[in-house]
Amino acid sequence: MGHVSGNNTGFRLCPGWFDRQAQESLVTLLRKSVAAAPFYTPTMPRTGKPFSVQMTNFGPLGWVSDQRGGYRYQATHPETGAPWPPIPSPVLEVWRRLAEYPSPPEACLVNYYRPTAKMGLHQDADEEDRAAPVVSISLGDTALFRLGGTERRDPTRSFRLSSGDVVVLGGAARMAFHGIDRIYPGTSTVLGDWFPEGGRLNLTLRRVTVGR
């Protein structure tokens, strides 16, 4: 496991939290879970425009988006209607070690970024429980991660997130705007033949409800 760096805002970067062997083992587990909950392309609530990333979820709840219902959490896959698979145990272990929060995560959103995909600056604001942190795991190609403040106009900083890195947004940083400006193709081979074109997987652990 890697070391932790951060500051008093509640933002923590844990580079190399998963070594190469642990990354490969996690990818194998994820492939099995995704077979039960396939990636799909969500759409924007207002415009119906497709996201540039593909998504799926693990856990009791999953984050979804479409033009009909907007941003929300629900217990079933929007295309198959089946419950989401459980969160893999190595992912839960990251929460136990880094979240510093008594309740377990209820959702693990999985985003697949193709080499050309991006994610604009946004807040994770659809959760009832905002005292819990957001914990994010990177696998695959390196990404340029941008972190701002709690207002969209606040200055931003950029970090490269490599395969195996973990980020925690807690405390004052829980509602910070953040996004992915670009993917650096060819910087990792850990996804192997699952995604021959490369790209990045991002797993985001969230606690959704309070007191349940």
Question: What confidence category does residue 4 fall into, taking pLDDT thresholds of 50, 70 and 90?
Answer: very low
Question: What confidence category does residue 212 fall into, taking pLDDT thresholds of 50, 70 and 90?
Answer: low
The pLDDT tens digits for 67-125 are 888 999 999 999 999 999 999 999 999 999 999 999 999 999 999 999 999 999 999 99
pLDDT above 70 (res 8) = no
Q: 168-204 in b/e burial notation, b at 16+ Cβ within 10 A?
A: bbbbebbbbbbbbebbeeeebebbeeebeebbbbbbb
Q: Does the 5-206 domain belong in CATH 3.90.1150.10?
A: no
Please state the domain extents for the chain. 5-206
Q: Of the candidates 116, 132, 158, 151, which has an alpha carbon nearest to the alpha carbon of residue 13?
A: 158
- What mean pLDDT, rounded, does the chain reach? 94
Question: What confidence category does residue 46 fall into, taking pLDDT thresholds of 50, 70 and 90?
Answer: confident
Provide the Cα torsion 85, 87, 89, 91; round to 10°.
Answer: 140
Q: What is the pTM of this model?
A: 0.94
> Residues, the chain, total?
212
- Cross-strand pairs, 207: none
